Amino acid sequence: MYKHIKEILDSNIGEDVVLEIPKNPKMGHFSTPIALILAKQQKKSPNEIAENIKKKIESLYEFKSVSIVNGFINIEISDKFLEKIAKDVITNPDNFAKSKHSKKILIEFVSANPTGPLHIGHARGAIFGDILSRIGIHLGYDIKKEYYINDAGSQIDMLGTSILLAGKELLGLEVEYPDEFYRGEYITDIAKEAIDAIGQQVFINSEIKTIAQFGIKAMIKLIQSTLEDAKISFDYFVSEKSLINELDGVLKKLKENNAIYNKDSKVWLKSSLNGDEKDRVIIRENGEPTYLAGDIIYHDNKFKRQYDSYINIWGADHHGYVARIKSSIDFLGYDSNKLDVILSQMVSLLKGGKPYKMSKRAGNFILMQDVIDDIGIDALRFIFVSKKADTHLEFDIDILKNEDSNNPLYYINYANARIHTILQKSSAKISYDFNNVDSIWKELLINALLLQKVLQNSFDEYAIQKLPEYLKNLASKLHSCYNASKIIDTPNEGSILCILKIVSISITTGLRLMGIEAKTKM
């Protein structure tokens, strides 16, 4: 509905109209400051411009009334237009709040190193990326989801060494521990699997590369299992190792663009020319590519696939990495403005007011799988997008087990279940006549029809916390209307049933896009 009203105003006024929702319902359903904006450009009185616009649009069937207050043009939607929209929604609920866009977008998220299970720090970016993708697809964008597997480099050698040490210990062989290695019961579990699958001899011979490759496969399998439990899927898994043969071509391209130089037997990227604090090594003295080199190859591969835009969702600890990646993209001859990097801040988990227990299986961090098993994926998904991704998130998981208004997901589901109870109890026929319906019910209907606007804003601004905020507010309005007036056996019962059904469709659609199934019974 919002999009339709905006398009009508844009067409009739000949401008890109800013359309707002007034805080005071008495001001109308929509408001625009376009007259104030045009007054500065045309050097005329805002009221004069507003009056001219009013004459153009007040006779349109979509509008019941058009008024002017301090230069703002306020619009009240007509009952006829509401009737048309309501019929469309109830007849085609699967198309509700959808849109059409031709843009192709590649979203990369999670991309955790396959050296350990997914922990709670990975979970926030994982859930954010998945819900952002779901919203974008619903809005009509051509979106592909990608996981980049860092399966090359020193961290993989360390994984192999760590499993080797655990295996030798299991076999009663002599073990010498280095300063750094991966700890945790999961390493011992993989060592046991490896001994059974590829034999003891690889441990006796210290075949680190063979053990590491087994470890990578085992870790990817474990990561994919956790992602599946989290209702997260990917279109592509891209291996760093599979791209390494593209290194020479990337170096040649960087050299042709005067982006690299040799110093101290290393190859350096001139990233300081493009906003980085200093130049960066991409090839070590021994000829091995650095972690950054792998990422440059990967982004070259991405941009060669010719998407309209790219989104990377990284942990907050990658803040300093953005400038050097964007610099390399420009040096490769692409437009780094096509890449947006969203940084996901850390999460602090509490349980009963105390810090959540670390996992012995994984070393000293909280496993994503443990929290899913503890509170369920629906609660985890909801709470992890309840705040903007770049802000710190702290929450007590015990609150998510409460069956009261303190638990926002319960509060929203209770609203939906309430609606379904009324729909089952009522024998009235759905009516699309809103002429005599109280204003609070019409306001609820208008609010329920704003989902498409909320989704578009959430996607455009990478602010998907707006969706749970909207659903909570919609549920609150529903509860208020329910408590304020009788529904069954009233003259407007059929009209109110129609409104309730649309509210339920809005809640159900919004939760589905968060990867949550709305409850119809509580």
Q: Tokens for 168?
A: 């030798």
Q: What is the pLDDT of residue 501?
A: 98
Whole-angstrom distance, CA of residue 398 vs CA of residue 404: 12
CATH number of the domain enclosing 38: 3.30.1360.70
User: Concatenated DSSP letters for 219-284?
Assistant: HHHHHHHHHHHTT---SEEEEHHHHGGGHHHHHHHHHHTT-EEEETTEEEE-GGGGT-SS-EEEE-
Question: Does residue 131 have a pLDDT over 80?
Answer: yes
Q: Would residue 313 count as lying in a domain?
A: no
Q: In this predicted structure, what is the pLDDT of residue 364?
A: 72
Largest CA distance in the chain: 90
> In the predicted model, what is the mean pLDDT of residues 366-372?
91
Q: Residue 363 above 70 pLDDT?
A: no
Confidence of residue 362 (pLDDT cuts 50, 70, 90): low
Q: What is the pLDDT of residue 284?
A: 95
pLDDT value for 462: 97
Query: Looking at 77, 96, 119, which one is the last position of a domain?
Result: 77
* Tens-digit pLDDT profile for residues 277-297: 899 999 999 999 999 999 999
Please write the tens of the pLDDT for every residue from 266-275. 999 999 998 8
| Dihedral sign (CA 408, 409, 414, 420) | positive
- Distances in Å between the alpha carbon of 506 and those of 90, 134, 449? 11, 15, 7
pLDDT at res. 328: 95
Give 172's pLDDT tier (boundaries 50, 70, 90): very high
28: domain range?
Answer: 2-77
Q: What is the pLDDT of residues 132-145, one digit of tens each?
A: 999 999 999 999 99
Q: Check the CA dihedral 143-470-448-78 and report its sign.
A: negative
Residue 303 maps to a domain: no
Boundary of a domain, candidates 201, 229, 257 = 229
Last residue of a domain, one of 195, 229, 263: 229
User: Is residue 111 in a domain?
Assistant: no
Residue 208 clears pLDDT 70, i.e. is over it? yes
pLDDT per residue as tens digits for the range 56-96? 999 998 999 999 998 899 999 999 999 999 999 999 999 99
Return the higher-pLDDT residue of 361 and 46: 46
Give the pLDDT confidence score for residue 342 in this predicted structure.
Answer: 96
Is position 70 within any domain? yes
Asked, for residue 124, whether it belongs to a domain, the answer is no
% of residues, the chain, pLDDT over 70: 99
Q: Which of 260, 295, 300 is nearest to 153 (CA)?
A: 295
67 lies in the same domain as 166? no
Say what the pLDDT of residue 84 is.
95
So what's the pLDDT on residue 179? 87
Q: What is the CATH number of the domain that holds 507?
A: 1.10.730.10
Instruction: In whole angstroms, give the CA distance from residue 4 to residue 457.
Output: 16
- Residue 415 falls within a domain, yes or no? yes
Q: Which residues pair with 146 in a beta bridge?
A: 108, 236
266 inside domain: no
CA 408 to chain centre: 19
Task: Find the mean pLDDT for residues 406-416.
Answer: 94
Q: Using alpha carbons, select from 486, 288, 319 the residue that is nearest to residue 389.
A: 319
pTM for this prediction: 0.93
Instruction: Quote the CA–CA distance of 408 and 510 in Å, as a whole number.
Output: 14
The answer to whether residue 205 scores a pLDDT higher than 80 is: yes
Please give the C-alpha separations between residue 382 and each of 59, 348, 420, 474, 505, in angstroms, as whole numbers.
Answer: 43, 16, 22, 16, 18
Q: Which of 38-52, 175-189, 245-259 has the highest mean pLDDT?
A: 245-259
> Per the structure, how many domains does the chain have?
3
157: three-class secondary structure by DSSP: helix
Q: Convert the pLDDT of each residue in 311-320 to its tens digit.
A: 999 998 888 8
Binned at pLDDT 50, 70 and 90, residue 24 comes out as confident
- Residues 59, 161: one domain? no
Q: Residue 322 falls within a domain, yes or no? A: no
Q: Please give the pLDDT value at position 138.
A: 97
Better-scored residue on pLDDT, 472 or 25:
472
Residue 61: the pLDDT is: 87
Residue 97 has pLDDT above 90, yes or no: yes
Give the per-residue pLDDT at 360. 66
